[in-house]
Every structure is written in C-alpha cells, then in structure tokens.
Amino acid sequence: MYDLKNRKTFVRRVKVNGITLDNFYIGCTLYILGRLVKIVDFACENTRKLLHKDVQVTFVMIKPLPTSIVGKIVNHFFENDLRVTKIKKARLTAEDINTLYRSFIADPKFPFLLEHLNGQLVFGMELVGKDAVSNCLKIIGDPDPVKAEPGTIRALYGTDLVRNCVHTSSNPEAALQVILEIIGKQEGDRYNWNNVGDIGLIKGIPRYYVPKPGAKRYKKYDDQVIKQALDEIALTNNSLSAVAEKYNIAKSVLCRHKNREMKLHGRPTALTKDEAVIGVTH
C-alpha cells in the first residue's frame, strides 16, 4: 500500500484483523494501523485483475422523493451487494440535467424530465460491485413502472416514465463520464460529494450499514463503557469497528479516546484520513 500524501510505502505485508480482500475496492475507507486510509486506485493492472475482477463502478441518481422512500431504495442496492462509495444531495440545474440526459434531449419526454428535476433535490450515488451496471439495471427495472417486474424499484415506487424514481447509467463508460463531470463541476461547493458515512442522515437505511459517526454524532457516552471498549481493543485482536459496534459507540468517538490514551503513553496520536493505492506483491 503506497501513501500518496507522503510519497512512500505505508504497508508492505502485515496482518490486520477485521479486514478481508472484499474490503479492498476503490472508494473504501479502511482503519489500518491507527490511520484511516481511503483506497483511490490500484498500483498496477495485475492488482486490479486480482482484486477488482468483474467489479464495476456505476452512477445512480434518485429522483425527487420523500426521504423515507430514498432510504428504502438505497436498501435495495445494499441487499444486492452494491456498495455506496460516494453520495451527495444536491439541487439540479438545467445544465446538470442536460449533462445527465444528453442522450435523451431529442426524446419527447425530455421537457417533462426537465420540469420534474430542475431545481429539485436529488441523491447522486457512486455504486461499486460485481457487474454493477447490469446488476443495477436489473434491480431498478424497466423505465416504465407499469412494465417493470414486480419487486424492482420502479415497480414499487415509480408512477410513470418521468417519475420513475431512479436514473442510472447504461454502460460503464457512461457511468465514469457522468461521475467525473458531476464531481468535477461540484468540486469545492457546498454540495460536494460526501463519504458514505453521511448516509446516516437518510431514513430507512439499515443500521448495520450506517457508520456510527453520522448516526451518533451528538450522543454522550458513559466513561466506563468507553474504558471497557478501549481495554478490549488493547487486550484482544478485535478491530475498532467491531468493538464500536459491540458497545454501540460511535467509531469517531472511540478513535478520539484511543488517540488520547496513546498521547498519554507517548505514542503517535495522529489519526488522519489518507489516500493510498494498493498493489499485490509476488
């Protein structure tokens, strides 16, 4: 694993409990040796083929809907092994809509889409998973909710060809293009893409997936419970994430107290979020 910020190798070969090969995908943030490391790329094609086989990235936009319905839609993706690596809530402009629906501009439905989406709040997501593009299209269903198979997202929550809940990319190239254009356009503004932790603000998303920081931001914790959790981390091989889940403590809170303990013992205290690329050695 290569640290892009410090331009040096961070990890060569080491056992880290609680992390498996399934966790190594672009967009994932891992807690490794006291640091939060976000994987942004693979070091070589060999690594990509070994760890990212058949894995694709796709773009999904949830159209204007009640927040509780948004949570149920996101849950459909979780249950079908599609990981949300980036998510944001933003108001679309006419320019954004033209970018997203550039292939539909000549379609008779486009003026109605423009009217439905312009100035409205939507959720944009980057999804990662095995055959993500085709899998996502299958989960969403036919563009016409009347023709969509029972159990698909559009059959459950859509009403017509315009208000059909979700827009998604039809192929990997289109997905990457839209993601780059939308992220690039919004870079630096208050609607910038957020890490998956912020989905804790969406109702209906299963608790086992929602990272604790977003869900427990203002909760006060008993000092004795925190001490027990820190002791368990120190005396066992359990990961910080597993202990935080066991004691129902926000991971960020546990990290903060752990850093405080490390400072008292003269050990490094910085817990930063770094970007890294990973490579498989032979």
> Catalytic amino acids?
167
Distances (CA, A) of 25 to 21, 41, 144, 163: 9, 8, 33, 33
User: CA–CA separation, 214 vs 206, rounded Å?
Assistant: 13
Question: DSSP class of residue 44?
Answer: S
Give the orientation angle of helix 223-235 with respect to helix 251-264, to 10 degrees.
70
- Strand duo 83-91 + 121-130: pairing: antiparallel
Half-sphere exposure of 160 (CA within 13 A, CB side): 5
Residue 220's SS3 state is coil
